[in-house]
Amino acid sequence: MTKLSVERTPLIIAAEINMINQQTKKALLTGAVEIGKRLKEAKALVPHGEWGKWLEESVNYSQRTADKLMQLFDEYGHKLPALSGDDSSPNSPPEANLGYTKALILLGIPEEEREQFVLDNDVGSMTRKELQEAVQEKKQALQEKDEANKERDQAIEEKNDLQKELDEKDSKITELITQNTELESQVSDYKQNYENGQRNVTPQQKEPEKTPEETASARKITDVQFTIHRDNMLSAYNELLKTLAALAPTDPKLKEEYRETAHGIVETMAKRLKVYPPEIQTNLKIRTHTTTLLSAQKPSN
């Protein structure tokens, strides 16, 4: 029985060479991962400070090369059975067709993004330079995405802080309004009681003096009124300062205009409060006793 001979062609030879190259690259990656595994094992056993010396004397590796091999094991070690298996298996990961060099380059991409990147970019057919450029672009895109997410999270946090501050101010305003309402009610009751008492007093009767309890109550009402108005004034002043501070970097001209206006208002208020209520003044001229006498002594015409 004669054996069938297959004609050798350049196309068949090229296919065989490419297959051998692919198998060699795959074996190199698998071997590198296995070496990285054993290097990590050895590093845990070598005494502290002796690692570099052990690498040089025992395996003739630099620490940089050893670090790369151990990193390959960290990133691809859990896929090692699949990497050394059949490429055509449906469970075979995309990295199964990669060589040592491309596997190293792909370490620049986070593991959770790496597999999809290999599928989207046909890494197997890329040159080393093309892969390096594609990885750099991906890293830049991921960095921009991360920065955008950080800015978004910061904006959300600032919004939440602002909302919290507004809620606290609303609560404070509600509390002041409640206090003011209660105060107005007390003043109204006090005024009504006073008017009712006045109706029962005859013209000949002397107005009764206020009891210590009434005096203390009136003082308490006045204190509450003053506290509310003082706090409102301080709160408004602080908000005005915040507005001016926010305007300073964005619109200095408008900030200065507002500042001068506010300064004028404060100066006017300060002058008015220097003596308040103001002393009563009159335009009437009072003739003194001496002037009257001199006028009476003048001879009549």
**pLDDT, tens digit, 9 for 90 and up, residues 182-239:** 878 887 777 777 777 766 655 555 555 667 766 777 777 888 888 888 888 888 888 8
Range with the lowest mean pLDDT among 35-44, 172-181, 200-209? Answer: 200-209
Residue 292 lies in a domain: no
| Cα separation, 108 vs 124, whole angstroms | 17
Segments forming the whole domain that contains residue 63: 13-126
Name which residue leads in pLDDT, 277 or 293. Answer: 277
Mean pLDDT of the chain: 79
Residue 251 lies in a domain: no
Name which residue leads in pLDDT, 215 or 77. Answer: 77
Q: Per DSSP, which regions of the chain are E strands?
A: none
| Cα separation, 84 vs 28, whole angstroms | 10
pLDDT band at 10 (very low <50, low <70, confident <90, very high): confident
pLDDT at 283: 55
| Cα separation, 188 vs 221, whole angstroms | 11
Residue 136 lies in a domain: no
Residue 151 lies in a domain: no
Residue 220 lies in a domain: no
Neighbours of 139 (CB within 10 A): 14
Residue 77 lies in a domain: yes
Residue 122 lies in a domain: yes
Domain count for the chain, please give it: 1
pLDDT at 67: 95
Residue 200 lies in a domain: no
Asked whether the whole model's pTM tops 0.75, one would answer no
Averaged pLDDT for residues 22-46:
89
pLDDT at 203: 54
pLDDT band at 166 (very low <50, low <70, confident <90, very high): confident
pLDDT at 293: 43
Cis peptide before 278 (omega within 30 of 0): no
